[in-house]
Structure 1
Amino acid sequence: MSNVKKYKDIVAFHPGYYIADIIEDMEVSQAEFAKRMGTTAKTLSKLINGQANISNDLAKKLSVMMGTSVEVWQNLQNTYDRKLIEMQQAKDYDEQTKIVKEIDYRYFVDVVDLPITRNVNDKVANLCRFFRVSDLRIMLQPDFLVNFRTSTSCNNEKNIINSRAWIQTAINISKNINTSPYDAQKLKRYLPELRSMTVQKPEEFLPRMKEIFADCGVAFVLLPHLKNAGVNGAVKWINDERVVLAMNNRGLDADKFWFSLFHEIKHVLQQKIKTVFISSTMEEMIDINNKLEKEADEFATDYLIAPADYKKFSPSKYTSDNEIVEFAKKIGIHPGIVAGRMQHDGIIPQNGCSKLKEKYIIETKYTA
């Protein structure tokens, strides 16, 4: 083992490096120097070769023998140790560069006000601090935040990293939201009011929606889409009395927004404390109990448009926009939701009834 370590422009000199020079200047053998020092040849050899650190006892002996202070030798050891840490950190940052390149750093500048920088190491440090991890590679560990289906695909790793980054961002933001203790019955009583908001504009329903969720113990967070995350929504319990419900706030048609919202509400009501639920546009990102997912889908579908009402309406490919609008008005819901249901059921093409659809774009800004 060498008593000098190098990585890039960082050089670390073990105290044994200096002891070797002293032995050479004294023109004695290591065995003799060990006797003069009052230690064994084996201990001295390990010290010279950087295999052992200077103990307080050895520092005392060297200080007496060489006429220096004990601190001189302790400082040499401390300097070496600090250099090793600096060296390891540089190596770690280099390894994390691969992960940083998979993350849209600008997103975190725009959304949570992380410092603007072009320096890769600064990006690593800023993201580690924000995600509360010691190393970005932790974002790829199977049991971190939420489990996904594993794959050897690079795209899969990119999706996993960014999905976890999006979820952690929602968790961080949720810490600034005050909530009452979780109350499932209260949330159920609020469901009709939440459904009635589908006919309102986001600027009208969002303030009240946040109040309702907070009153029920739900920290409701709206976040812009993060590139390669593919996450539309997520539910994560913080503890028995508090749960985070996060939603993607950009690029969603109104019908998809409301379906996703009620889908996530059902996951909240399922109250699976140890399960993180993800609604994703990417099939490989979904790794949740299929029964619970099906329940959430059916709940969102049936609560927005009651099966009996939909059956009575009996839509077909010949159903006009005006008929959809009248039906939506009758059941008190956004007509785009009815059109979206018909698209989902294959009654009309995906571009059908496009005039009835509405896209929500809700800008948000948070502090890191």
Structure 2
Amino acid sequence: MGDSVKNQYRPNYAILPGDVLSDELELREMSQQELSRRTGLTPKHIVSIIKGKSPITPETALKFERTIGMPANYWLNLESNYQEIKARLAEEERLEADLTWLKRVPVAAMAKLGWIERHKDKKGQLKEVLKFFGIASVDQWDDMWPRLSVAYRQSRQNTVFPEAVSAWLRKGELEAASIHCAPYNKPAFRRALDQIRALTDMPPQEFVPKMQALCAEAGVAVVFVPSLPKTGVSGATRWIHSNKAVIQLSLRYRSNDHLWFTFFHEAGHILLHGKKDLFIEKANNSSNGLDEEKEAEANHFAENELIPRRELDKLIESGARTKAAICAFAKQVGIAPGIVVGQLQHRGFLDFKHCNDLKYFYSWDHEL
């Protein structure tokens, strides 16, 4: 049965029922006016059917059966086939136009990661990508990601495609859907962050499941999604609905200071900002211009949550730059030494080349 469907003939033209009706009238030497009198349909309606502007309805088909003599199902099948082929041909034209959009989607990378199947036929590939996004056509992409598209176009980043970013975000949505979360509870999430902070010196295979479980209990799904070409993103935050938020982190991190800063930055968006906002962070921890003030607030939250500012100021004031002093301080405040190094480098107290061996460099599975 599969082969018969696969090899089914699909004509590349549509037979207009009105042409058939016109031919049948000519064979019977019946004028349109006479058909109008015999069927009770107005002459204007008859002309509209012949020109293909009006469809042949079941009621009209029955009238044609009685006046012309051909079965009603003949006319209905003719109309049905015409409409189906016309729609299919229109879709083919639309798909042809949408292939330009497809070029901006990192299809090869998505297929390599197993997100979609690879197709040799470009139109088949486009349909596969639309299925991944869960949309009927490219027109709906603009409806689903309007703010994303505007933000990236305003930023004039020629190396970043909003289509690619949306593919990364879509994968995060799909991953988050499989994580069962309790209804969002702000105090519970705040408490979860205090517990998660103690996980910063663990390897990913240990901290990831614990982080995800603690956040899920508070109504936040945490997903790790490999980065795609032409995205340049490190993290994102948005709300699936009023009781479930999503923190999405890419796998482009190599050091623990970058990962944990981004996580707490995204957590800051959840605690401090509205549920209708979409926040996307670039790999260099800068925003895409969606709201600079809110990004600054999230940065401040992450910095203070990782290392209380007063404590970090004391370390800087002491002038201690040795690895031993950094490790002692990290133990004192209960944080991984690499995070202290990252914060000191960010504050300009340490050169970006110094003490990087205190950082934990991750090796992620499923990287490109």
In which range does the TM-score fall when normalised by the shorter chain? 0.7 to 0.9
Q: Given that residues 222 and 249 in structure 1 are in contact (C-alpha distance below 8 angstroms), is that contact kept between their aligned partners in structure 2?
A: yes
Say yes or no: does 1:222 pair with 2:246. Answer: no
Question: Please, which of 317, 332, 335 is the counterpart of residue 333 of structure 1?
Answer: 335
In structure 2, relative to structure 1, the CA distance for the partners of 1:271 and 1:285 (3 Å cut) is closer
1:81 Cα shift?
Answer: 0.7
Rounded Cα–Cα distance in structure 1 between residues aligned with 2:207 and 2:284: 29
Report how many aligned residue pairs link the two structures.
358
Question: Please, which of 108, 117, 121 is the counterpart of residue 106 of structure 1?
Answer: 108
Rounded Cα–Cα distance in structure 1 between residues aligned with 2:198 and 2:103: 43
Rounded Cα–Cα distance in structure 2 between residues aligned with 1:230 and 1:68: 64
What is the match of residue 299 of structure 2?
A: 297
1:142 Cα shift?
Answer: 7.8
SS in 2 for 1:279: strand
Question: Please, which of 71, 74, 77 is the counterpart of residue 73 of structure 2?
Answer: 71
What is the match of residue 262 of structure 2?
A: 260
Listed as ranges, the matches of 1:208-287 within 5 Å are: 208-270=210-272, 272-281=274-283, 286-287=288-289
Rounded Cα–Cα distance in structure 2 between residues aligned with 1:49 and 1:282: 61
In structure 2, relative to structure 1, the CA distance for the partners of 1:106 and 1:361 (3 Å cut) is farther
Per-residue Cα deviation, 1:179-223 (whole angstroms, up to 9, x for no partner): 122222122223232112111111121121111111111111110
Rounded Cα–Cα distance in structure 1 between residues aligned with 2:123 and 2:306: 48
Q: Given that residues 156 and 284 in structure 1 are in contact (C-alpha distance below 8 angstroms), is that contact kept between their aligned partners in structure 2?
A: no
Per-residue Cα deviation, 1:199-250 (whole angstroms, up to 9, x for no partner): 1111121121111111111111110002212221112222232211111123
What is the match of residue 308 of structure 1?
A: 310
Listed as ranges, the matches of 1:143-182 within 5 Å are: 144=146, 146=148, 148-149=150-151, 151=153, 159-182=161-184
Rounded Cα–Cα distance in structure 1 between residues aligned with 2:218 and 2:277: 19
What is the match of residue 91 of structure 2?
A: 89
Q: Given that residues 278 and 286 in structure 1 are in contact (C-alpha distance below 8 angstroms), is that contact kept between their aligned partners in structure 2?
A: yes
SS in 1 for 2:82: helix
Q: Given that residues 192 and 218 in structure 2 are in contact (C-alpha distance below 8 angstroms), is that contact kept between their aligned partners in structure 1?
A: no
1:340 is matched by which residue type in structure 2?
A: G
1:302 is matched by which residue type in structure 2?
A: N
Q: Given that residues 256 and 360 in structure 2 are in contact (C-alpha distance below 8 angstroms), is that contact kept between their aligned partners in structure 1?
A: yes
What is the match of residue 6 of structure 2?
A: none
What is the match of residue 16 of structure 1?
A: 18
SS in 2 for 1:203: helix
Q: Given that residues 316 and 349 in structure 2 are in contact (C-alpha distance below 8 angstroms), is that contact kept between their aligned partners in structure 1?
A: no
What is the match of residue 3 of structure 2?
A: none
Which deviates the most, 68-77 or 114-123? 114-123
In structure 2, relative to structure 1, the CA distance for the partners of 1:299 and 1:154 (3 Å cut) is closer
Say yes or no: does 1:343 pair with 2:345. Answer: yes
Q: Percent identity?
A: 27
In structure 2, relative to structure 1, the CA distance for the partners of 1:323 and 1:152 (3 Å cut) is closer
SS in 2 for 1:128: helix
Which sections of structure 1, spanning at least 5 residues, go unmatched? 1-7
Q: Given that residues 234 and 285 in structure 2 are in contact (C-alpha distance below 8 angstroms), is that contact kept between their aligned partners in structure 1?
A: no
2:45 is matched by which residue type in structure 1?
A: T
1:29 Cα shift?
Answer: 4.5
Per-residue Cα deviation, 1:122-145 (whole angstroms, up to 9, x for no partner): 222222222221113332348647
1:298 Cα shift?
Answer: 0.3
Per-residue Cα deviation, 1:29-84 (whole angstroms, up to 9, x for no partner): 54445445553332222222212211333312221233221000011111111011
2:220 is matched by which residue type in structure 1?
A: V
1:271 Cα shift?
Answer: 5.3
2:359 is matched by which residue type in structure 1?
A: K
In structure 2, relative to structure 1, the CA distance for the partners of 1:13 and 1:51 (3 Å cut) is same
Rounded Cα–Cα distance in structure 2 between residues aligned with 1:97 and 1:153: 24
Which sections of structure 2, spanning at least 5 residues, go unmatched? 1-9
What is the match of residue 133 of structure 2?
A: 131
Q: Given that residues 225 and 250 in structure 2 are in contact (C-alpha distance below 8 angstroms), is that contact kept between their aligned partners in structure 1?
A: yes
